[in-house]
Amino acid sequence: SLSLQGKTALVTAAAQGIGRASAQALAAAGARVIATDIAEDKLKDLASDSISVERLDVLSPDAIAALAERHGAKVDILFNCAGVVHAGTILDCTEKDWNFAFDLNVTAMFRMMRAFLPHMLERGDGTIINMSSVASSVKGITNRFAYQASKAAVVGITKSVAADYVGKGIRCNAIAPATVESPSLRERLEATGDYEAARAAFIARQPIGRIARPEEIADLVVYLAGATYTTGQVHVIDGGWTG
Ligand code: NAD
């Protein structure tokens, strides 16, 4: 069975959306959770007996190193959830957009894995879950140029780590949701200038007939946190979009 009793999980971007729902679901499944984000105010009310909250800016190599120094020895499950969506085609994409997408969506993940993996290897056990998207190597999505490139890179670094450490007790998987309800989704829909039309279009592309709830993605995170026979995979969770 997939009990997370006795395990410690660290989640990035846990203040809202999928990260928050996952921190709560991991705790409900029995794990001790270290929930991190830059938005400390929104993290506060997550704190409980099983969830401790801490500020972590994943763009800061020093902050990552300090966090790994403090918690590395006990983290069994690392969920790299932090990421930003850039809207737009290649012609809309500035150098700044491109660099920021890679800094936050890819380089931060590289640094997190680089910092926590040695401790997992010492124990001969650990699982890493990296947030990708169907907008990656899975499917071409309109208006997601820098985002799609960065989330495809997430698939690459996930498969690489999985291949290198499969014999050493490490599992490393990516998750690839389609559209999920979250504060940033609301902002993206509002930014189109016609919230209702944009929302209807997003729902229309989900064969299942609705946008995912963050709790549904969190169920997959809990599964992967406890799963012992899957690694190097992109676990698509998309309401039938690419099925
Ligand atoms: P969200 O975008 O609403 O929230 C993102 C969180 O990240 C915020 O709490 C924010 O404070 C935090 N954050 C931003 N910069 C940070 C930094 N430098 N360090 C630490 N935390 C930082 O949440 P969401 O929509 O659930 O997205 C979470 C992840 O899921 C992202 O990687 C996103 O790309 C991915 N994803 C989202 C969807 C979707 O439709 N919502 C679909 C597929 C993948």
User: Ligand 1: which residues within 6 Å by Cβ?
Assistant: 12-13, 15-19, 37-39, 56-59, 81-83, 85, 104, 131, 133, 177, 179-180, 182-185, 214
pLDDT tens track for 73-128: 999 999 999 999 999 999 999 999 999 999 999 999 999 999 999 999 999 999 99
For residue 3, what pLDDT is reported?
86
Nearest to 182 by CA among 13, 12, 9, 11: 13
ipTM for this model: 0.99
Residues 64, 69, 74, 76: is their CA dihedral positive or negative?
positive
Q: Are 176 and 154 in contact (CB under 8 A)?
A: no
Beta bridge partners of residue 170, listed in sequence order: 126
Under 8 Å CB-to-CB from 46, ≥6 apart: which residues?
A: 14, 15, 20, 23, 24, 35, 53
The pTM assigned to this predicted structure is: 0.98
Distance from Cα 112 to the centre of ligand 1, integer Å: 16
Domains of the chain: 8-180+214-237 (3.40.50.720)
Please give the Cα distance from 177 to 165 (Å, whole number).
25
Q: Mean pLDDT in the chain? A: 97
**pLDDT for 8-58, tens place per residue?**
999 999 999 999 999 999 999 999 999 999 999 999 999 999 999 999 999
pLDDT at 1: 62
The two three-digit tokens of residue 167, written as one number: 């014999």
The H or E element containing residue 115 is: helix 108-123
